Amino acid sequence: MKQPSPIKGFKVDKSTIISLEKGKIPPQAIDLEEVVLGAMMIDKKGVDEVIDILSPDAFYKDAHKYIFEAIFKLFENSEPVDLLTVSSQLKKDEKLDLVGGDFYLISLTQRVSSSAHIEFHARIILQKYIQRSLIKISSEIIEEAYDETKDVFDLLDNAEAKLYEVTQGNVKKSTETAQSLVIQAKKKIEEISNKEGLSGIPSGFDKLDKLTSGWQPSDLVIIAARPGMGKTALTLTMARNIAVNSNIPVAFFSLEMSSVQLITRLISSETGLSSEKLRTGKLEKHEWEQLNVKVKTLEKAPLFIDDTPSLSIFDLRAKARRLASQYGIKMVIIDYLQLMTAGGSQKGGNREQEISTISRNLKALAKELNVPVIALSQLSRAVETRGGSKRPLLSDLRESGAIEQDADIVSFIYRPEYYKIDEWDDEERSPTEGQGELIVAKHRNGGLDNIRLKFIGHLGKFDNLDDFDTPFGEFHSKMNAAANDDTFKPDNYPSASDAFDGPEDDGVPF
């Protein structure tokens, strides 16, 4: 069939030509577009109800796009929206003649008498827009799939990303003006000022939350340490605090330990029963009762664990998108970065390039889902060989400087006790037993600090150093009381050097 020639003055795109050839036209609801715009111009309530649902691109007819843009500008500037103000705004934009003049605006207002059912009508317009978007995306996917030079894993990732954007009603944002961004920023600041507590997601560690104001959306956070320092313990404790205490959905991707091992460690942390007892199952009657009662809070927690081994960055992004769509996850934790693969076209590159790709994609994932992403990372052996202080440095990050570059926050875990250092190197020379330090070495949007934490080795968890209001405050109090008792025998209590049970990392318990 011969393709129809474009009419002079009108732009005919490829999708329109295909639609004409097949006897189909793109999904649309012109009559509802007219009704919605008319209602917005006669009733302020109508503007408030649909301004956040629709965007100019949601309208099929160009004239309607221009009218909605004028209404949106008036709304942004807190100016009244009616027939006269919309007409005036269109004149300023030099688009009044393009929409059909004042006569067309008047005809829109005459079509309705109120804004009743305007939200329902707007949802239908949005559905038609999503249908058109799916048609466009499908055409692009088909065209790219025929291109033999494209990597198939890149195609899959791009296709899923585009479809995810549609499900979020967020198909490729256009460039925003400084004015609209300032309005958004002011609105966010107002929300934060009216909100009690933290602006981000609380980690459960008071001093850390004070420094960061909680983990912020779209931030990539790297927590790095040598094997044996307790990377998994720290992030599991945070995941537990966020999911159980704050009831915020968290996704935990474990490339090292199985999901059952992780949940067993969380049960140990939650119940106060040692991992050895849980592993052997040798529990007393009262301990079984303790297990059954205290594990109920963990059962109800919105915590999602994925233990897929050798997970590629493309698979992780796909899984995270699904979890965000289905369960509304607000945080992603990855344990740990060096066990991931780049996948796709990056398989042939060297390891440094692969880690750079993974790091870059993790930051992109944080921005795409607008959630904080925490990735654990190994440190190089330079820490072990260095004389004097064993505190990690940014230069110790393993395999790629891209990790430091892409991350918004880089922090290290340091436990002097692991290196048989009995005292902290400060003026007080306080004992290091049962303590660790979280070193915030890079913070793009805030200050730096060294934060001391309590490390409870036999339970595989961290806690606030001076926090006796936690479920294990009683345990700490008993330990202190026993320490002051003449009959106290240190051998009767587990030492922090016993650290963890479970899989080993480079020959050292994680």
Report the percent of the chain where pLDDT is more than 70: 80
Q: In which band, very low, low, confident or very high, does the pLDDT at 1 lie, cut at 50, 70 and 90?
A: very low
Q: In which band, very low, low, confident or very high, does the pLDDT at 167 lie, cut at 50, 70 and 90?
A: low
Per-residue model confidence (pLDDT) at position 493: 35
Per-residue model confidence (pLDDT) at position 91: 92
**Domain covering 201-509: architecture:** 3-Layer(aba) Sandwich (3.40)
**Peptide linkage before 336 cis (omega within 30 of 0):** yes
Residue 64 predicted with pLDDT over 90: yes
pLDDT tens digits for range 450-503: 888 888 887 888 888 875 444 444 444 444 444 344 433 334 333 333 333 334
The more confident residue out of 358 and 168 is: 358
The more confident residue out of 396 and 92 is: 92
Per-residue model confidence (pLDDT) at position 391: 82
Segment 8-14 shows an average pLDDT of 47
Segment 255-282 shows an average pLDDT of 78
- DSSP string of 373-409? EEEEEEB-THHHH-SS-----GGGBSS-THHHHH-SE
Smallest CA-to-CA distance from 403 within 350, 337, 340 is with 337
> Burial level of 492, CB count in 10 A (0-12/13-18/19+)?
exposed
Segment 389-412 shows an average pLDDT of 79
- Residues carrying an active site annotation: 256
Residue 392 predicted with pLDDT over 50: yes
The more confident residue out of 319 and 177 is: 319
- Sorted by sequence, the CB contacts under 8 Å of residue 494 that are 6+ apart come out as 274, 457, 458
Domain span(s) for CATH 3.40.50.300 in the chain = 201-509
Strand partners, 451: 438
d(CA 120, CA 46): 11
pLDDT tens digits for range 271-281: 777 777 777 77
pTM metric for this prediction: 0.61
Instruction: Write out the two tokens for 372.
Output: 């904080």
Q: In which band, very low, low, confident or very high, does the pLDDT at 3 lie, cut at 50, 70 and 90?
A: very low
pLDDT tens digits for range 181-230: 677 777 767 766 666 667 788 888 888 888 888 888 888 999 988 888 88
Per-residue model confidence (pLDDT) at position 333: 92
- Output the average pLDDT for the chain: 77
Domain span(s) for CATH 1.10.860.10 in the chain = 25-178
Q: How far apart are the first and last CA of the chain?
A: 67
Segment 333-353 shows an average pLDDT of 72
Q: In which band, very low, low, confident or very high, does the pLDDT at 168 lie, cut at 50, 70 and 90?
A: low
Per-residue model confidence (pLDDT) at position 296: 81
Lowest mean pLDDT among 67-71, 136-140, 340-344, 505-509: 505-509
Segment 300-322 shows an average pLDDT of 83
Per-residue model confidence (pLDDT) at position 68: 92
Residue 129 predicted with pLDDT over 50: yes
Query: Within its chain, how far is the Cα of 83 from the centroid?
Result: 42
Residue type, 63: A
Residue 81 predicted with pLDDT over 60: yes
Fold topology of 25-178: DNAb Helicase; Chain A (1.10.860)
**3-state SS string for 300-326:** CCCEEEECCCCCEHHHHHHHHHHHHHH
H helices of 195-301, in order, are: 206-212, 231-240, 259-271, 275-280, 285-299
Per-residue model confidence (pLDDT) at position 53: 81
Q: In which band, very low, low, confident or very high, does the pLDDT at 268 lie, cut at 50, 70 and 90?
A: confident
The more confident residue out of 505 and 398 is: 398
Segment 86-93 shows an average pLDDT of 92
Q: In which band, very low, low, confident or very high, does the pLDDT at 161 lie, cut at 50, 70 and 90?
A: confident
Per-residue model confidence (pLDDT) at position 288: 82
